[in-house]
Amino acid sequence: MKTLLLILLSLSSLLADKLLLLDEHRTYLAAKKQITMCVDPDWEPFEQIITTPKGPLHVGISADIIALIARRLEISIELVPARTWQESIQFSKDKRCDILSFVNQTPVREQWLIFTEPIFRDPNVLVAKQGSKMITDLKSEKLSIAFPRDTAMFERFSKDYPNLVFIPTYDEAEAFTLVAENKADLTLRSLIVTAYTIKKEGLFDLKIVGKPKEYENILRMGVSKEDIMLRDILNLGIATLTQADIDAIVNKHVHFTVEEINYFTVGFYVFLGLLVVIVLIVLWNYTLQRKLRKELRKNEVQTHHLLQKAKQAELSLVIGNISHQFRDALSKLSYINLALMSKLQKKQVIAPEELDSATKQVETSIEFMSDTMHTFLEFYRPTTQKTHFTIFESVQEILVILDTKLKQSNVHVAFSVQDNFSLFGIKNEWMQIWLNLLNNTMHQASKKAIKEVKVRITIDKECIVFEDNCLGFEPDILENLKTGNCERLGLAMCQSILEKYHWKLTFSNTPKGAKVNLYH
């Protein structure tokens, strides 16, 4: 009996290593001659394409698993190199390759692919900067999230979470970098990719802040839709894979340790595990209060940090505008000075009224330059100090900063102040709102060749209305704005600022142009 068992185990091992195909399968493969495969060239540790003296080489977890499947099926699979994942997707659509290596099954991909049985499962996790809060409900968050283009999770998330601002990237590394550099709040990546990238790139200021349910990577091979026989052959090879096969390949690339458990010591390990959990709970309780206080302070500072980043994005444009304003004022001073010097050199008499007029012009120019610089410095100085100010006052100060730019764009701003009410808050934040709205108007005017731009600002305690005559928002942009996606016109910061003060932002078109309502 023992001998028979050993024989069966030996046969099982042999069959697992070399799977016997049916005659119809061998006939198909003989006619097919060559099976080609497209892969993601930059998706470590799952797969990548490296350059070798013998040519491009597919390496990584998926490469080793697919090579094992091919060996057991006794087939050869030829790599079709691509520069990007987007190019591999296009090659697959154009039927330049038979297989896509490691993919999630999605409705979009089902248009041109059929899929094998699952090969590998890996949960997706949300990754953010250290100090970010844990996320349990993404639907209640208004954050930016970086995603590699044409991935299954990009497709699913953009449909399931319209409240998020999506930042497409070309690869995994760019998504992590945007989060590390505070250019995106989050990214969603596979657990294995996240652990591998953080360790390899030294991105230890990143952490996992959530694990969305039902967003597990269930990776398969995608096969050209009409190639059912090839899909069935690959499924035969996949059926031979064991968890031990998968674990051995994963451990080779990400250095996970899988130990065989001695069941006689299970009780000891359970006790040790409980002891570790208790110690962790005690330590967590000890540090929780300190962390909560720290996070509250960080959240407040982060809002102001984002405002400063938005200001810095406008900085070069505004400095250029102020330099024009100073150049105009300095030219006027220079002209007055030269006129007076010319008369003095010619020993001509300078009438008292002429000297008085020149003095007043000099004083006016210097006062204008001083006011402009003071307003500019106040606006760009980081502050969290709240004061009482009027809406009209905050708009007027931005008009001073943008004076020359508004004149060059032939922008005329008119006011209808029905209630010049006061607010208690950070005036710089409200000035940022008017700066964004006016810059968008000037951008639209330039884009649509509006020669004379008219802006009307109606100020009332219940509602502030900003209107222009620049022919309105395009239909697709207006639809995005109405659904809360303000990122396309750079108005996301305006929306965030207003939410702090319990105000709202709505957009519409009038017969002449765009209309923005700010109300509470």
Closest among 519, 506, 481, 487 to 143, alpha carbons compared: 487
Instruction: Identify whether 4 is part of a domain.
Output: no
* 212 and 226 belong to one structural domain: no
Q: What is the CATH number of the domain that holds 372?
A: 3.30.565.10
* 78 and 139 belong to one structural domain: no
Instruction: Identify whether 248 is part of a domain.
Output: yes
pLDDT tens column, 269-316? 556 666 666 777 767 666 766 776 676 566 555 555 555 555 555 555
* 314 and 391 belong to one structural domain: yes
- Radius of gyration in angstroms for the set of CA atoms belonging to the chain, rounded to a whole number: 33
Q: How many domains does the chain have?
A: 4
* 202 and 272 belong to one structural domain: no
* 443 and 490 belong to one structural domain: yes
Instruction: Identify whether 51 is part of a domain.
Output: yes
Instruction: Identify whether 6 is part of a domain.
Output: no
- Of 195, 218, 241, which residue constitutes the final position of a domain? 218
- Predicted pLDDT of residue 267: 53
Give the strands of the sheet with 453-459, arranged side by side: 411-417, 453-459, 463-468, 514-519, 504-509
Instruction: Identify whether 245 is part of a domain.
Output: yes
Sign of CA dihedral 412, 480, 90, 82: positive
Instruction: Identify whether 2 is part of a domain.
Output: no
* 75 and 180 belong to one structural domain: no
Residue 436's alpha-carbon distances to 211, 407, 427, 483, 494, in angstroms, are 35, 17, 15, 19, 8
* Residue 126 bridge partners (DSSP): 188, 210
Structural domain that includes position 430: 306-519
Residue 34, phi-psi category: left (phi > 0), alpha (psi -120 to 50), beta (remainder):
beta
* 51 and 184 belong to one structural domain: no
Distance between CA atoms of 475 and 489, rounded to whole angstroms? Answer: 13
Q: Which residues of the chain have pLDDT under 70?
A: 1-20, 255-277, 282, 284-286, 288-289, 292-293, 295-335, 338-339, 342-343, 346, 364-365, 367-384, 484-490, 493
- Predicted pLDDT of residue 464: 94
- Predicted pLDDT of residue 274: 63
Instruction: Identify whether 5 is part of a domain.
Output: no
Instruction: Identify whether 294 is part of a domain.
Output: yes
* 234 and 323 belong to one structural domain: no
* 292 and 326 belong to one structural domain: no
With beta carbons less than 8 A apart as the criterion, state whether 398 and 433 touch: no
- Predicted pLDDT of residue 10: 43
* 232 and 187 belong to one structural domain: no
* 444 and 348 belong to one structural domain: yes
> Using alpha carbons only, what angle is made at residue 108 by residues 106 and 111, rounded to the nearest 5 degrees?
110
Q: What is the CATH number of the domain that holds 23?
A: 3.40.190.10
- Predicted pLDDT of residue 370: 66
- Of 246, 272, 298, which residue constitutes the final position of a domain? 298
* 511 and 405 belong to one structural domain: yes
